[in-house]
Each structure stands twice: as C-alpha cells, then as structure tokens.
Amino acid sequence: MAAPEPVAPQPAAPATSWRTYLNGRTVAILFLGFSSGLPLYTLIYLMQAWLATSGLDVKALGLFALVTSPYTFKFLWAPFMDRYSLGPLGRRRGWMALTQLLLFVTMGAMGMLDPKTQLGLIAVFVAGVAFLSASQDVVIDAFRRESLSDAEQGLGAAVIVNAYKAASLVPSALGLVLADSMPWQTVFWIVAAFMLPGLACTLLVREPAVYGEPPRNLQQAIVLPFREFVRRDGWSKAFMIIAFVLLYKLGDSMATALSTKFFLDIGFSTKQIGLAANATGWWASLAGGVVGGVWMVKLGINRALWVFGVLQALAILGFAWLAQVGANPVLLSAVYGFEAFASTGLGAAALVAFISRSTDPRYTATQYALFSSLAAVPRTFINSSVGFIVAETGWFTFFIVCFVLAFPAMMMLPKIAPWNAPHEHPQT
C-alpha cells in the first residue's frame, strides 16, 4: 500500500493586523473550546464536591484516577475519527455533535445517582464522561487545525486555551454556588446544559475543507498518519519534534507539580494560597492567552516559541526566589501571576499552535491526538518523581534544576523552529 504524497496546508498571505483573524472561524473555536473544557472541569470540581458532601471516604474520591487516563491514550481511537463520518454533518461535525449530545445527557444523568448506594454506577459514568470528553477533544482539535489557515493557528490556539480555562468557572463557581440552594440533580443538569451552545455551534458551522485524500479504510487511518509524519522530513526530524513536544514544558510542569505543598512548607496558609490563585493566577493565565494570541500573530509561531519559552523558564526562578525569601504574600501573588501569565498562558498557547502546525490536514485527528498525548506525559508520569527530588535537594535547588531542564527544548529551536524561517509571516 503506497502512501500518498503529503499535501501541505495552503499558507495564508500576511495580514495587516491581528484583527483580520477575528472572524467567524475563531468565534466558532471560542464556543468549541468552552465545550471542550467543561466536562473535565465538571469531573474535577463539581464531582469532587458532590462526593465529598455526600460523606464518602477517600476511597470514593479515588475514582478521579479515571479522569485523566482517556486523555493520555486518546490517540488509540483517534484513527476511527479520521476514517469514518457520521451522517450528513461530515467527518468532523458529525463526531462533534455526537460527543456533545452524549456528554450533555451523561453529565446531567450522572447527578441523579446516589453516591451512597450507586458508587459503582457512578464510576461507570465518570469513565464514560472522561472517554467522551477526550473523544470530543480529538475531533475539536482536528476541526480547529483544518478550519484555520497556518497564519491563524497562533490566535486560534490562544482562543481555545482561554475558552478551555473559562469553562472551569461554570462547575467551580456557578455550580458550587447553586449547590447551596438546589438539589445536586438540578445543579448537574444546569451545568450539563452549558454543552448546548457548543452543540448549536457545531450544527451552524461549515465542515472544514479536506486537503488531499482522507484515509479510505481503517488500516490507512492507522498507518498513514505515522508514515506521513516520519517521511515528511525523515526519522531524525520526527524524533526531534517528539522530543521537543515532550520537553518544551518539562521544567515548568515539574516546578508547579507540588506548588501548593511548597507554599505550605514555607509558611503560607491555605487562605493566602487560595486568594493568590483567585486574585492573580486565573486572570493572569487568561491575560497570557490573549496576549499570546495577538503576539503570535505579530511574531509568528517560531519566534513565539523562543520568546515565550524564555519567559516561562524565567517564571521558574520566581519560585526559587520565593524559596529564599519565605512567606511574603506580595511576592506570592507576583510569582503566581507571572507563572500563570508566562507558562499557562503564553507557553501553552505557543505549544498548541506548534502542534497544530505540525499535523497533516488529512490525518489531523490522529496526529494531533498523538502529539497532545505526548505533551501530557511529563504531567502524568515524570512529575511523579518530583517528591523524591525535593526530599533530596530541598526546594531552592529543586527549582534551579527545573530551570535548567527548561533549556534542552530551547536548544532544539534552531532546528525545530528557526527564528528566521521563510514560512513565518510576522506582522508589522
């Protein structure tokens, strides 16, 4: 079976302003990004509060281990979503509509169960929501990559990162406030109803154009995405891209893995930590995403990876500074805010844009799912060693180690994303 020649996405001509990219496509990405984040945050925040207030012990709360595993292995079923279409909506919109409708029903129905007598069934629903949510992410990421031109990928990445975060406010703020005066069943259905704007958006938008010939069968859907990626620039470049995706946020991810424990150890109260997170962290990460999107339009994705990578590395030094100074509330807010702005905002948006650009439009679902799964490896596996490192080194030395670990990926940038690459179109 011969693989077809790669078909590159059509480059967009440079625009005069970032406002050019604020169009119907980016508005659709905003709604879909919100729909993408809502199920995960419902499991993290609303589910945890529901189980805890029901008087369940820590073993019941351990069900949350089911939440993240589908996100790590979603590339295993992504080829099915690249190969098959569902009904008249098309290959992308069909899968989006199905997962969004099922998420609405499953999230709402989950709250009708009794945690004291139906714990096993709740576990099934949690696993179902996680699987459907990861599947929705696969197809939304593919839709975003195929709907936006290369020049729009940076701003599109920032839009979806911010919309994803904004979705956390529904279960963590609105949901918990409503739970004070409403039955949990009603609260879950209200939160689930926020899936409906994304479903409406899916029904209204156009199916993205298909570049080249999509997989004709399941074998092609599994084999061709990996073959195309390797043949595009050879094995060495393929391995370098994989290593870069793994390493770009390694230092920052390790530095923040036990941040709450670090803040408590140096003398902050839980109230001070919570206030700093709410006052600066969340808003700074949103600001970083917005600034990152506009800045990437000006710089181009390559240069953004350089600039944002340096800033997220410098944010790690803020933790080292705090380890030396101790419990200074003003410095805590500054460190929290700058880390959220530089890493959660700028760095995350740049990495998402790079991953999007690195996929072939014919196999977007499979390739993007693979890359995003690789990006989650440090958070899922490597961070498990953080506690052992801190026990041996202490907090200050640990953060210096994290700072150093931020630079292997930066050293790959001349090969991965050259500063003066000809395909970059910085705006003036």
**Structural contact between residues 350 and 157, judged by C-beta atoms closer than 8 angstroms:** yes
Question: What DSSP designation does 149 have?
Answer: -
**Structural contact between residues 404 and 317, judged by C-beta atoms closer than 8 angstroms:** no
Provide the angle, in degrees to the nearest 10, between the axes of the packed helices 301-325 and 348-357. Answer: 150
Q: Which residue has the tokens 């899968």?
A: 95
pLDDT value at position 53? Answer: 79
pLDDT value at position 110? Answer: 94
Cα Rg of the chain, angstroms: 22
Among residues 390, 370, 347, the alpha carbon closest in space to that of 254 is found at 390
Topology classification of domain 218-416: Growth Hormone; Chain: A; (1.20.1250)
Q: Determine the Cα–Cα distance for residues 15 and 12; give it in Å rounded to an integer.
A: 8
10-residue block means of pLDDT along the chain (428 residues)?
Answer: 42 45 78 93 82 67 63 84 84 94 97 87 89 94 84 79 83 83 93 96 88 70 83 87 89 81 82 70 75 80 92 94 91 87 84 85 81 72 73 92 93 91 53
Give domain limits for the chain: 18-204, 218-416
pLDDT value at position 422? Answer: 63
For residue 23, give the amino acid letter: N
Sorted by sequence, the CB contacts under 8 Å of residue 346 that are 6+ apart come out as 288, 289, 291, 292, 295, 304, 308, 311, 312
Q: Determine the Cα–Cα distance for residues 376 and 368; give it in Å rounded to an integer.
A: 12
Provide the angle, in degrees to the nearest 10, between the axes of the packed helices 119-147 and 24-41. Answer: 160
Q: How many beta carbons lie within 10 A of that of residue 128, not counting itself?
A: 18
Q: Please, what CATH class does the domain formed by 18-204 belong to?
A: mainly alpha
Burial degree of 116 (CB within 10 A; 0-12, 13-18, 19+): exposed
